[in-house]
Amino acid sequence: MSRTSRPRRWPALVLGALMGATSVAALAPVFTPAYALAVQSGGYADLVARVAPAVVYIEVTKKVEATGLNPADLPPGFPFEEFSRRFGIPMPDQPGGPQGQTPEQSGVGTGFIISASGDIVTNNHVVEGADSVTVKLSDGTSLKAEVVGADPATDLALIRVKAGHDLAFVNWDNSGGLRVGQDVVAIGNPFGLGNTVTAGIVSALGRDINSGPFDNYIQTDAAINRGNSGGPLFNAAGDVVGINTAIFSPSGGSVGIGFAVPADTAKAVIADLAGQGKVDRGWLGVAIQPVTEDIAAAIGIVAPKGALISDVTADTPAAKAGLKRGDVVTAVNGTTVESPRDLTRLIATAKPGAKVMIDFLRAGQPVELSVTLGNRAELPA
């Protein structure tokens, strides 16, 4: 997969919350009908009644060493370090428990059921490093869950419960059809309070918040807070258009700028996790950078668009196919590449071993060639 050489920054806060276990009021189960329910004049009450049984609350625990040290002095990878780092929440010292008992950290988040058999989608940062994961259904039932697989690159995870009976579930929508200004509804577990519904609109699409190489977030003004992490963002028909993942906030609370992973991204990732517990992504073997106006003028192209190849690693799919430093990639399989982010995402969504057609400019002249992609997962860490 193509890469850009930019520092990893986190201007947004992920939404999971560190706190003790919180009681959640039981809700009467409502079975999901087969039809899509449009929003009526009474608001979103009917929609919420239909989809709420598929929204679950997730409690995780992680045993930690009784160090008594300042968390800032702990090594990278300390349990729930990711929560603390992304939220800006200092982790407390961990005194030893009585009679040598090992202390635990607790966290809460949200998820949603996507199959009657108990497959549940949430964020990777909600369950990452957890020793135990407990799912609380809308009727108050608590079930132990197993982590089937996780993908840190998109912050998605698939967990599974066995209820002994069919569960209410929700369906994916194609978030590629979203429009700015469209109504959306978020359901989640903010601050461990339990079932909470908020509504808003799609504020923007295709947001890059510098959280990773595949940023393509839906931005919404529906109020979402810590603990909403991993919860669904619904359209007016009650289909999932996104997974609430991050907020931008100077205070840690909602200021009306939230971000959700689009459903069309999540569907492919979750399908891979369900099938093999991991995600394999295509890989080119190039370093890329934006085409600035100065670069466009220097290499003789009209518009500053595309992805400029700044380096090609030897013995990689790109090198074997004949791509060279200075080439400007303009399309992959006919899909236009406006920026390096587009190229990264298009290559990553293709499967290793797939042949893709790359359109590019070399010395101002259009060229097309076929590249057989490698596997990003096989790269050294």
Active site residues: 125, 155, 229
Strand, helix or coil for residue 61: strand
Q: Which residues pair with 187 in a beta bridge?
A: 197
- Quick count: other Cβ atoms within 10 Å of Cβ 362? 15
| Structural tokens at position 327 | 């080439």
Taking the C-alpha atoms of residue 213 and residue 277, their distance in angstroms, rounded to an integer, is: 21
Q: How far is CA 267 from CA 153, 160, 175, in A?
A: 14, 16, 10
The SS3 call for residue 376 is: helix
CB atoms closer than 10 angstroms to residue 372: 13
What is the distance between the alpha carbons of residues 107 and 15, in angstroms, rounded to a whole number?
Answer: 11
Please give the DSSP secondary-structure letter assigned to residue 102: P
Residue 57's H or E segment, with its range, is: strand 55-63
Assess contact for 118 and 162: CB atoms under 8 A: yes
Residue whose entry in the numeric block shows the structure tokens 């998605």:
156
SS3 content of the chain, % helix, strand, coil (to 5): 20, 35, 50
Nearest 5°: CA angle at 16, between 14 and 20? 150
Q: Which residues pair with 132 in a beta bridge?
A: 61
C-alpha pair distances (Å), 359 with each of 53, 294, 322 = 47, 22, 12
In this structure, the number of other CB atoms found within 10 A of the CB of residue 72 comes to 8
Residue 175 backbone class (left: φ over 0; alpha: ψ -120 to 50; beta: rest): alpha
Q: 119: Cβ–Cβ under 8 A, 6 or more apart, which residues? A: 113, 148, 158, 159, 160, 274
Phi-psi region of 362 (alpha: psi -120 to 50; beta: other; left: phi over 0): beta
